[in-house]
Amino acid sequence: MTTKFRTLWFWRRYHRGGFRQSSPWLPVLLLLGVFAWSLTSGVEGVRAAGDPLLEVLIRKGVLTPEEASQIRKEANELEKERDKRVDKKVTEVEQKVNSQVDQKVATVEKQVEKKAADWKLPEALKGLKVGVLAYVDYSAGARPIFMGPPLYTSAGKVGRNVSGHTGYNQWTLQRGYLNIEKEITPWLHARYTPDLTQDSTGDWKFRQKYLYAELRPPNAGKVLTQMKGEIGLGHIPWLDFEEHINPYRAQGTMPIERAGVFNSADLGVNIRGNFGGRLADAKQIVGNDHYDGRYGSWHIGVYNGAGYHATEVNENKPVEYRFTVRPLPDYLPGFQATYFGLYGKGNNTSASSFTTTANPSGTPFYNYSPDWIIHEGFLSYQHPWFTLIAQMFASKGNQGGNWTTTPGIPGLPIGRRANSLWTQGYSVFADVKIPIKILNENRLHAFYRTDWFNADQDHVIARSAKYTKLITGTAFQVYKNNLILLAFEKTWYGQDYAIQGGTGYNGTGSRVVAPGTNGSNLGTDQRIQTVYQISY
């Protein structure tokens, strides 16, 4: 046994408490210590830093500093080796525990999957979505009462009629959609939407609003994308588009529908899509991801022309089309310019609808399918904090085919056909989100809208068959599309505009201008309105 090995052995036995007081080596060590101390008295030497035993052995002369350093080095290596063995053991235990946990989790997952496989969702419910959209309306105000045309005698006009008003204070249900949508395959969908409405007797009944098959063809290159085609009672190209920019359909119909030019659905076929794919992050950038084409969108359709709650009485099929461009998607993504057009015939074949007392001879007057043409220009800018709209439209006649000239107009010959009247309308709209947080979100909006409409722009049969409408109010976003609206609405009518109750908030398709109703003097109507929009 070498001196170095014996010294290492002594050092380890010391650290492990191996020396007892009765050990025979103790006197020898003490003598050696005294001898070594005598040889190294007054000399500090080199010490093995951090280990008192090695320092003592160096002072006693048992070890040289070099031997002590080597012993310390070998001891450190032994400690490292021991630590490695401990770490390896810990790692093995961890791996074993993790493996057992993974096996247990996998077993539980298989059990869950087996139970899920045992209960399968019925095929009819796969891809099915059901929702409701309803407007609960409370309005208080005054409506105009049409008292009839001015009185005439053989001497001519006698006096001038002044219509009256009637007050109202009532709850109504302005919409009651039950939306049922089904994904049959990725390229074939369907929708059925009955609308709860109240008839003239007060009875509540469902009226069909949408019922169509929806085909989703593949993209036509990079230009025509996200296409959807509808077959059945489906959307027309205009109103669904506008109602996704102006979010307050719950207050009332959009300007062109309010005027009575047409309504929002019809039987036929149509196809729509985007230009150039989708605008990335449209919801965050412009506040709306409907009609989110990067360079705009388009919609074309052919329809019966009668709308969704009238019977078709002619064989004409109007063509309707909308083209929207988003010219600067990277710089002004919220700005869009839109053109909407319609070409067809009004839904009227009556031969006697427009005879008047001015034609007492009863000469037949045929109103077979009068012209129905629409041109509309629309500018919009959408931002998460505000929306702006400016639009202008002109129509020749209307969907009902009853905005026409009539026989017996002074200075005009009695013809065999009625000529549709040209109308013109304008509207501006603004909606601003108010920067006041309620329940940690900016829920409050303020909105403003003004409509101008003239039912006889060329003054063919009336001088002032027009109205101006003001709508303003606030909206509170309860949750997602659930809203509470508080609005004020007032309408000023020209002296020759005539419709019982005024335009109200449902619009009108009935006759608003005729020689027999000139001078009706409806005056004004106004109301204060609260609406709760239910949406899920």
**Confidence band of 506 (pLDDT split at 50, 70, 90):** low
Distance CA 96, CA 258 (A): 74
Residue 273 near residue 297 (C-beta atoms within 8 A): yes
Distance CA 275, CA 294 (A): 6
Output phi, psi for 170, to 5 deg. -155, 155
3-state helix, strand, coil in the chain (%, to 5): 20, 40, 40
Place of tokens 């609406």: 531
Which is more confident, 414 or 280?
280
pLDDT of residue 169: 94
Give the residue range(s) of CATH 2.40.160.10 domains in the chain.
124-535
Residue 255 near residue 238 (C-beta atoms within 8 A): no
Residue 306 near residue 347 (C-beta atoms within 8 A): yes
DSSP β-ladder status, 156-158 and 164-185:
unpaired
Average pLDDT over residues 231-242: 97
Taking every pair of C-alpha atoms in the chain, what is the biggest distance, in angstroms?
157
* CATH superfamily entry for domain 124-535: Porin (2.40.160.10)
Residue 53: strand, helix, or coil: helix
**Confidence band of 527 (pLDDT split at 50, 70, 90):** very high
pLDDT at 52 over 50: yes
Q: How many residues does the chain have?
A: 536
Using left for φ > 0, alpha for ψ between -120 and 50, and beta otherwise, residue 324 falls in: beta
Residue 249: strand, helix, or coil: coil
**Confidence band of 403 (pLDDT split at 50, 70, 90):** confident
Q: Which residues make beta-bridge pairs with 198?
A: 204
Residue 318 near residue 312 (C-beta atoms within 8 A): no
**Confidence band of 43 (pLDDT split at 50, 70, 90):** very low
Distance CA 475, CA 448 (A): 11
241 class by beta-carbon count within 10 Å (0-12 exposed, 13-18 middle, 19+ buried): buried
Average pLDDT over residues 355-369: 51
Residue 286 near residue 333 (C-beta atoms within 8 A): yes
pLDDT at 411 over 90: no
Average pLDDT over residues 499-520: 75
pLDDT of residue 33: 52
**Confidence band of 334 (pLDDT split at 50, 70, 90):** very high
With a pLDDT cut of 70, the percent of the chain lying above it is 80
pLDDT of residue 79: 83
- Taking Cα atoms as reference points, which of 144, 161, 143 lies closest to residue 152? 161
Residue 125 near residue 516 (C-beta atoms within 8 A): no
DSSP β-ladder status, 204-215 and 437-438:
unpaired
Q: Which residues make beta-bridge pairs with 22?
A: none
Which pTM does this prediction carry?
A: 0.75
Average pLDDT over residues 142-171: 68
What are the tokens at 72?
């310390």
Q: Which residues make beta-bridge pairs with 135?
A: 175, 533
CA angle centred on 254, ends 174 and 512, rounded to 5°: 90
pLDDT at 112 over 60: yes
DSSP β-ladder status, 188-198 and 164-185:
antiparallel
